Structure 1
C-alpha cells in the first residue's frame, strides 16, 4: 500500500512542467479566454458522462470478479475501481505502475486472494484495449474519407494499425504458449522476490515453492476469467460503454466552447490519447493532454479551443476520479 511520496511529487512536478509548456505554446491568455466563454450549463452533463464511464468500468471489474467466484455489490465495485484509478493516476507509467496497489485494494474489498485480484484488474485493462482499438479503427476509417491526413494523423493512424494487429497477435501467441510464459515468469520473478526479501526490514525471503504457487495462482485466475465467454462478452460491453462515455466527455467539452466536431473525431482521439498514459508521469498527466490537443488541432479544432476542451475533459476524467478514488483508497487501506 505504500506509495513513494517523493516519486509521486517528482512525477507531478514533471507533469506540471509539461502542462505549463503546453499552455505557453498555445497561449495562456487564449486558453483562459476560451475557458471563460464555456457554457456552464453543459458542465453537469460532462460530469455525469464521466461518472457513467467510471460506473461502466467498475461494473466490468465486478463482472470479471464474479467469474472468479467473488460477490461484490455494484456500488462497491465502482468505488473499488475508482480507488484503482486513483492508484494509476498517482503512480508513474499509469496502469503498469498502479496495478499492484490496485490489486491489493481489490483483494481487501472483494475478499479474494491477491493473485486473483491482480488477474482481475489485469484482465479488465486487457479487455479495455479491444473496444478502444475497434472504435478507433472505425473512426479513422470514416475520417479518412473526409479529411486529408497530416503528419499527426498519419502517426495516429499508424499507431492504431500497429495496435490493431499487435494486440490480438500477442494475445493469441501468449495464450497459446501460456504454460511456457508461466514457467518463464516464475524463473524471472523468483530471484527478484527473494532478493527483495533479504533487504526489506522485518521480511524473510519467501521460499521458491511459495513464489511458484503465487505465480501459478495468477495464471490460473486469468484462465478462469478467459474461459467464461458470457462474462467476457458482458465485460466487453461495459468497457465499450465506458469508452463511448469518455469520448462523450471530450465531445461535450468541445461543445461547451462552441466547437462542434463529428463524434467519430473524439472516438479516434480519446483511445490514441490514452496510449500516452504509459509515460513515466502520474496517470500520463501532461502526456495525454499533449496528444489530445495535437490530434484535435490536426483535425481542424482551434488550438485554444482544443486546449480548453482538454482541460475540461481531463478535469472530469482525471482529477474527479482521483479525488473520489483517493477517498475510497483511504477507506479500503484502513480496513
Structure 2
C-alpha cells in the first residue's frame, strides 16, 4: 500500500469512527454498554457461525463463477479467496468498488489465471449478489405496505431500492450493447494514465491502447460466458440468496442475544437496504451501514426497538460480518503476500 492509498484508508477509518461516535452519542453510552453486557454468549457465538455460513455460501458462488470461466478451484480455496476479497473491500474506501481491483489480483494469483478473468469473476459475483438483495428488499417493502403505512424515511429507502432495481439493469444493458465503443473509450482514456503512472511511480504498468483493448475484450468475453450459462447462474444466485439469508439470521440472533427478539420479516427489508450504504467512501461501508441499519430499525412500524437496543444489536451483527472476514482474509493476504499479489 503506497502513501496515497494509506492516507485515503486512514481518512476513511477516521470518518468511520466519527460516524460511530455520533451514533453512540445519540443512543447513549450507558444503555448501549449495558445491552452488550447482557448479551447471551451462546447467541453471540451463533452470530459468528452465521457469518461463516454467509462467507461459505458466497465462496461457493465465487467457485461456481470461476468454474464457468474455466478456472478450477476447490470449495476451500474459493472460501479463502472470498474472505480475501471481503478483507480488501473492508479496508478499502468505497467498499467493493475500491476493493475489486485488488481482489482480481488476489484471484489471479491464487487461482493461477489471468487478471481479466479474475476481475470478471469478482465483478460477476458482485452483480449476482445484487439481484437477490433487491428482490428480498422489495419483498420486504411489499410486506410492510400491506401491514402499515410508511413513514418518510421508509418511503425514501423504498424509492432508492426501486431506482436501483431499474437503473442498474438499464446501465448494464446500455453498456453491454455498446461494449465495443466502451472498450475503445476505456483504452483511449486509460493508456495515457498508465503511462503517466509509470513515469512518476516505481512500477511499469504502461500498456498500449491495442493491448488494453484486447484485455478489456477478454474481460467482456468472460462476463458473457457467465451471463449465458444457465446452470452456473442458477447455482450462483442460489448461493447468493443463501448468503443474504445467513446475514438476516445473524441480525435476528443479535436481537435475540440482547433479549429483544424481532420479527424476521423486518430483516428482509433492513439488511439489503443497509448493504447499499457499502457504496459510501468508508472502508467496507463501516459507519455508514451501521447508521442506516439503526435508522431503519427504529423507524419501521412494528419493529418496536429503541435506538440503544438497535445499535447494540447492529454492533453485534456488524462485529461478526465485518471482522470475521477481516481476520480470515487478512491471514489469506498475509500468506499469499501483498507484494506477490501486486506483481500478479
Q: What interval of TM-score do these two structures reach, taking the shorter chain for normalisation?
A: over 0.9
Q: Determine the C-alpha separation between the residues in 2 that align with 1:97 and 1:202.
A: 20
Does the 8 Å CA contact 1:83/1:102 hold for their aligned counterparts?
Answer: yes
**Once structures 1 and 2 are overlaid, which stretch shifts more, 83-92 or 3-12?**
3-12
Q: Determine the C-alpha separation between the residues in 2 that align with 1:204 and 1:42.
A: 49
1:19-98 correspondence to structure 2 within 5 Å: 19-98=20-99
2:332 equivalent in structure 1: 328
1:166 equivalent in structure 2: 167
Q: Determine the C-alpha separation between the residues in 1 that align with 2:54 and 2:215.
A: 32
2:313 equivalent in structure 1: 309
> 1:283 and 2:284 equivalent?
yes
**Once structures 1 and 2 are overlaid, which stretch shifts more, 266-275 or 256-265?**
256-265
CA RMSD of aligned residues (A): 1.6
Does the 8 Å CA contact 2:197/2:205 hold for their aligned counterparts?
Answer: no
SS in 2 for 1:16: helix
Q: Determine the C-alpha separation between the residues in 1 that align with 2:167 and 2:126.
A: 16
Q: Determine the C-alpha separation between the residues in 1 that align with 2:167 and 2:331.
A: 37
SS in 2 for 1:144: helix
**Once structures 1 and 2 are overlaid, which stretch shifts more, 16-25 or 158-167?**
158-167
2:115 equivalent in structure 1: 114
1:316 Cα deviation (Å)? Answer: 0.6
1:197 equivalent in structure 2: 198
1:219 equivalent in structure 2: 220
Q: Determine the C-alpha separation between the residues in 2 that align with 1:212 and 1:163.
A: 29
Does the 8 Å CA contact 2:194/2:205 hold for their aligned counterparts?
Answer: no
Which stretches of structure 1, 4 residues or longer, exceed 3 Å deviation after superposition? none
Does the 8 Å CA contact 1:105/1:333 hold for their aligned counterparts?
Answer: no
Gaps of 5+ in 2: none
SS in 2 for 1:38: coil
2:240 equivalent in structure 1: 239
1:139-178 correspondence to structure 2 within 5 Å: 139-178=140-179
1:2 Cα deviation (Å)? Answer: 5.7
Using the size of structure 1 for normalisation, the TM-score is 0.96
User: Deviations for 1:202-237, whole angstroms, at most 9, x for unmatched residues?
Assistant: 526322222222222211111122121210111011
1:51 Cα deviation (Å)? Answer: 0.4
Q: Determine the C-alpha separation between the residues in 2 that align with 1:207 and 1:184.
A: 13
Does the 8 Å CA contact 1:92/1:282 hold for their aligned counterparts?
Answer: yes
Q: Determine the C-alpha separation between the residues in 2 that align with 1:28 and 1:51.
A: 29
User: Deviations for 1:182-220, whole angstroms, at most 9, x for unmatched residues?
Assistant: 222222322222222222225263222222222222111
User: Deviations for 1:95-142, whole angstroms, at most 9, x for unmatched residues?
Assistant: 000111100111111111001000100110011110000000001100
Gaps of 5+ in 1: none
Using the size of structure 2 for normalisation, the TM-score is 0.93
